[in-house]
Structure 1
């Protein structure tokens, strides 16, 4: 493995985009467009659907914590490839069962796999980009999340035309993920560049601003994930048509592809905290639109604003943590990840039970929008 040489940075950025597409855009979020059919055919309640989503996010949180240790040093590429293989196998496995307990286990393990891919592909790709002086290509890497969502939308629309089932959707997700594994194996032909050993970090600073950002990040995790999990189910309740469901998810993915690149330009003008607050406000508008405007406009606007913001807010939040704790960036990011992960786990559970109680996703969406507004307020205040 050629650890000491610098590879083509564009090739690594494209490889990172592909890995993010299959591990995050498909591995984590293909559940959203397949969920309505699963709920209809298996008679899953909204609360059960929320539990399945939460199991995936719990696995992601645990996987992120485990992957952040130093146990894989020197084996980052192999670990990432095995995680991509597990991601593909677990996606396909979802199409072979109809038991809730098995769904929970598979999605939990898939969450661990997607976290491993995220951590190790970033370690490899970002290291090569930094040495090559091409950090601007990180936006291409993050575009993979939107690309994967868009591919999942096209796949579900194709299945609808062909008369396929949700089982076929999961099997198709497994095949797409396997193709991504092959591409990553070819394009990422080496591990991270060797560098200086990482020293012990100092303790976290006593910073009210950092505490507020951690809280805002956790609230964002709770608020965004409700719509990200149930937006296609919301369309199904509104009788928009099966193909329209895929169109809404396609709009979400297409909006996410350029989002990090575009919001980086806003950060230059407004700064990190104001941009974080602005994106949360826009996402809150989209959440309310998805249930409030009705017809076709509401879900399309909701999907567009969700895609245009949630990946960027995730990245901006981590930049904020590093900037507020420059002597302890790993500790700050760990706390941010824990807060975000906790919000992601609680969001689908609360929304599912609330939807079962009220008979629709209106009340959960209002709670989600209010949470995003609170997150924006806290983040803005932290920058004052």
Structure 2
């Protein structure tokens, strides 16, 4: 499709985006809805649900597991959708799923329905993280604009901030169910720009090269997959239970929402910062630093019950988790330029499997021990193990490159 054809097509629809800011707003709104609210509002609301709705630690872990299982399902469906029109329909269905999965949580106290809703909410995250990202990038490139996906991904941190601020403002007046319903109302407002301004996916150019045939992963690729698996464990434990672990400390009751807001605020500029660091020292060394820092983010709340430790852990987690995802996908895309989607799919599967397994295990252990210390130790050890695997990757990759 040519530039002129694209612009003509855009003018033919009353809802088609006419400016890059509209496209970027659509992408950011989709991430705030499907990730910040549908997927991550559960984190600051988990302590309230435990205190007011009788949600046990083990059930809290299972709800998180179902959420990440939903994300994996959505990611697999999105990756299998090749036709542009189908991807747009799936994206819009994902927005609606995010709305249902968020607002619906406040309309029932049935644990089985909660499981279904968390699964639906998880599936919706694929719409914002995978489908929206591709459509935003495709539109900007087709219109001769500089790709600005760093700004697009700032929607993840913005969504975390929004969910944390909403909980902080609502807790004195609203119970857990009413807060979920307000989250749903905010999601409905975000649905409007996310639905109307998101451009249709660009069809592939006639001259685009055919995808490379599937190939078996090399040893260096297996090392990246293993390190990303450990990153998935570390991420999901901290992202799910950080607020609940903070609220378990008697001296920190009522500060969980503040910790979550700090995570969001520090994650917004993280992708830009890690890109700069990677340009100076390389992607793999930058990731090793990020892994170690994220491991420390889980240990700080265990080592001290003071607020400074909880906030320090929140800062370290916020500045690292998005950077690790961004750097890893960038690295894999470069080293598998013939078929980057295949390599990214393998990584997504590894990362996702870890996120499905870990929450239920940590929730069960927390119910037996009365705290989340064991889970946070597991998160830290997983990140340190991932850093060690990345360190082993460097000489293996050098040998592979030297033999090519």
Q: TM-score, normalised by structure 1?
A: 0.94
- The structural deviation recorded for 1:169 is 1.6
Alignment of 1:259-298 (within 5 A): 259-298=270-309
Q: How does 1:23-34 map to 2 (within 5 A)?
A: 23-34=34-45
Out of 332, 340, 363, the residue aligned to residue 343 of structure 2 is 332
Structure 2 residue 160 is matched with structure 1 residue 149: yes
Aligned to 1:229: 240
- Looking at structure 2, the residues matched to 134 and 345 of structure 1 have their Cα atoms a distance apart, in angstroms, of 38
Alpha carbons of structure 1 residues 3 and 43: separation in structure 2 relative to 1, 3 Å: farther
Give the equivalent residue in structure 2 for 1:170: 180
Q: Per-residue deviation at 1:71?
A: 5.2
Q: Does 1:363 align with 2:374?
A: yes
Residue matched to 1:195: 204
Q: Distance in 1 between matches of 2:26 and 2:122?
A: 21
| Contact 2:251–2:305 (Cα < 8 Å) also in 1 | no
Q: Given the alignment, which residue of 66, 79, 91 partners 2:77?
A: 66
Q: 1:60-109 CA distances to partner (integer Å, 9 max, x unpaired)? A: 00110111113552243343223212211221110011121111111111
**For residues 34 and 350 of structure 1, what CA distance do their matches in structure 2 show?**
20
Match of 2:98 among 72, 87, 92: 87
Contact 1:81 1:181 in 2 (8 A): no
Equivalent in the alignment of 1:185: 195
Query: For residue 375 of structure 1, what is the aligned residue in structure 2?
Result: 386
| Alpha-carbon shift at residue 139 of structure 1 (Å) | 0.8
* Native 8 Å contact 1:3 1:192 kept in 2: no
SS at match of 2:337: coil
CA contact (8 A) 2:234 2:382 kept: yes
The 1-side partners of 2:146 and 2:373 are apart by: 41
Unaligned runs of at least 5 residues, structure 1: none
2:127 counterpart of 1:116: yes
Where does 1:123-134 land on structure 2 (aligned, <5 Å)? 123-132=134-143, 134=145
1-side partners of 2:103 and 2:243: how far apart?
Answer: 21
> Structure 1 residues 276 and 78, CA, compared in 2 at 3 Å: closer, same or farther?
same
C-alpha contact 1:55 1:104 (8 A) present in aligned 2: yes
Cα–Cα, structure 1 residues 383 and 31, in superposed 2: closer, same or farther, change >3 Å? same
Preserved CA contact (<8 Å) 1:252 1:303: yes
The answer as to whether partners of 1:14 and 1:140 remain within 8 angstroms in 2 is no
Q: In the alignment, which of 344, 347, 365 is matched to residue 358 of structure 2?
A: 347
Match of 2:222 among 189, 194, 211: 211
Provide the residue aligned with 1:137 in structure 2: 148
For the 8 Å contact 1:10–1:137, the answer to whether it is kept is: no
Indicate the SS of the match to 2:6. Answer: coil
CA distance in 2, matches of 1:72, 1:99: 38
Q: CA deviation at 1:142?
A: 0.5
What is the alpha-carbon root mean square deviation over aligned residues? 2.0
Q: Is the 8 A contact 1:19 1:121 kept in 2?
A: yes
Once the 2 structures are TM-superposed, how far is the Cα of residue 200 of structure 1 from its aligned partner? Answer: 3.4
Secondary structure at the counterpart of residue 4 of structure 1: helix
Which of 32, 48, 55 matches 1:21?
32
Distance 2:311 2:252 in 1: 13
- The structure with the larger Rg is 2
Does the Cα contact within 8 Å between 2:84 and 2:200 map onto a contact in 1? Answer: no
Aligned length: 382
What is the DSSP-based 3-state SS (H/G/I as helix, E as strand, rest coil) of the residue aligned with 1:201?
coil
> TM-score scaled to structure 2, two decimals?
0.89
| SS of residue paired to 1:193 | coil
Provide the rounded CA distance (Å) in 2 between the counterparts of 1:356 and 1:185: 41
Pick closer, same or farther for the CA change 1:331–1:71 going to 2, 3 Å: closer
Contact 1:17 1:143 in 2 (8 A): yes
User: How far apart are the structure 1 equivalents of 2:373 and 2:5?
Assistant: 52
Q: Identify if the C-alpha distance between structure 1 residues 11 and 27 changes in structure 2 by more than 3 Å, giving closer, same or farther.
A: same
